[in-house]
Amino acid sequence: MSTNGKNVIDLENVSKVYGHGESAVHAVDRVSLKLDPGKLFILMGPSGSGKTTLLMLMGCLLKPSSGSVHLFDHEISSMSEQELPAVRLERIGFVFQGFNLFPALTAEENVEATLNLKGYRGEDARRRARDLLDRVDMGKRLTHLPEDLSGGEKQRVALARALAGDPPILLADEPTGMLDSKTGRKIVEILHDLAHREKRLVFMVSHDTRILHLADKTFYMDDGRLNSEHP
């Protein structure tokens, strides 16, 4: 699949508005952004500033009210709701603060379930799940249920699951928010390594200023606007 230049994600004057008239809420307000692969981007900003909405627009979970969102050669804003799941499944891995693991499944089974959705079956899916968990240093915890894992271990399983099918884009919403500073830093170091060594585009939302030195570029958002860029 070809790219739009070197950019994997290209937002042009994108807005997301909820409601109408004087009560309308501009969750994202005329944001333009071009992101290329092989880098870790971090988006900062206060709660309610529109960070998660912007992430959802990038991840094809929301369509913009106006403007255009391009992922590779897909213009998301012109696609139907029936077409978007296939783009998400093929191109995007999601990592969320709450882990979102299936409590009744082991670490291996959680990753395998996502691989099943992407067409892998049987021993091939199990082997790939084990390989992905090895990559995030969870190879010795394959048979553990989420309730038997620490917060950092759960997030590593969630990251392995996001890598199922080798998506070129990883989107992370506060992946360190429920972790202590040391464990959170390790998770961001893994994300940084995935961006640089595997040439993925990694975009994460965070409040943690202690990890900013690991970002290739940091953006700041407030009141729906991408107001400034940290050096």
Indicate the pLDDT class of residue 22, thresholds 50, 70 and 90: confident
Domain-wise residue ranges, the chain? 9-230
Tell me how far apart the alpha carbons of residues 52 and 173 are, in angstroms, rounded to a whole number: 7
Query: 95-112: per-residue pLDDT in tens?
Result: 988 899 999 999 999 999
> Does the structure show a pLDDT above 80 at 1?
no
Query: 175-209: per-residue pLDDT in tens?
Result: 988 888 889 899 999 999 999 999 999 999 998 88
> Does the structure show a pLDDT above 50 at 2?
no
Q: Who's near 177: CB < 8 A, 6+ residues apart?
A: 97, 206, 207, 208
Return the beta strands (E) in the chain as ranges: 9-18, 25-35, 39-44, 66-71, 74-75, 92-96, 169-173, 201-205, 217-222, 225-230
51 vs 227: which has the higher pLDDT = 51
Q: 1.10.10.10, 3.40.50.970, 3.40.50.300, 3.40.190.10: which CATH number matches 9-230?
A: 3.40.50.300
CA 126 to chain centre: 23
> Does the structure show a pLDDT above 50 at 4?
no
Tell me how far apart the alpha carbons of residues 89 and 85 are, in angstroms, rounded to a whole number: 6
pTM for this prediction: 0.90
Tell me how far apart the alpha carbons of residues 222 and 202 are, in angstroms, rounded to a whole number: 21
Tell me how far apart the alpha carbons of residues 189 and 121 are, in angstroms, rounded to a whole number: 31
Tell me how far apart the alpha carbons of residues 175 and 194 are, in angstroms, rounded to a whole number: 15
Query: 138-177: per-residue pLDDT in tens?
Result: 999 999 999 999 999 999 999 999 999 999 999 999 998 8
